[in-house]
Amino acid sequence: MIKEEPTKQEQIEALIHHQAYDLVMKYAPSEELDEEAYTQVFTVKRKDVLNYVAQHCQLKDLVHMGQSNRDGFYAIPVKGGFRVYEQYNTIKTEEQIITEELGVWKQFVDYVLRTSGTALDFD
């Protein structure tokens, strides 16, 4: 049982900054840290995260916008949109060209939810 519920904003901020574990540790006693703890702490849905980042964030603050050797999600501005890919140990996933910023946010949200470590689907 968790002590209290984090706000939606707190949940989303933890997800987009890759701090899901830290949020669960804050709200669930460590002896109860299991899948159920993540389910109780994270009640936001995928659409909540997408709406939040699209309304309150800028790509440059959360997304790698230039080439680098760092792991993570990339959206490189190109003529007509963004070249989007993920990179792990300098190996890139298949690149896609996405023409609209909202499309980049959708890909970013998929990335952060998939890599959150929560094992939740957020649907």
Task: Judge whether 121 lies within some domain.
Answer: no
pLDDT at residue 80 greater than cutoff 60 = yes
Mean pLDDT of 77-91: 95
pLDDT at residue 1 greater than cutoff 60 = no
Task: Judge whether 38 lies within some domain.
Answer: yes
Task: Judge whether 122 lies within some domain.
Answer: no
Could you give the residue ranges of the DSSP H alpha helices within the chain?
Answer: 8-16, 20-27, 35-41, 46-56, 59-62, 101-114
Tally of domains within the chain? 1
Look up tokens 């003529």; give the residue: 79
Task: Judge whether 64 lies within some domain.
Answer: yes
Q: Note down the domain range covering 106.
A: 8-114
Task: Judge whether 67 lies within some domain.
Answer: yes
CA–chain centroid gap for 67, Å, is 20
Q: Is 68 exposed, middle or buried (0-12, 13-18, 19+ CB in 10 A)?
A: exposed
Look at residue 115 in the predicted model and tell me its pLDDT.
Answer: 94
Q: Which helix (H) or strand (E) holds 72?
A: strand 72-78
Look at residue 28 in the predicted model and tell me its pLDDT.
Answer: 82
Task: Judge whether 123 lies within some domain.
Answer: no
What tokens appear for 109 in the block? 């949200």
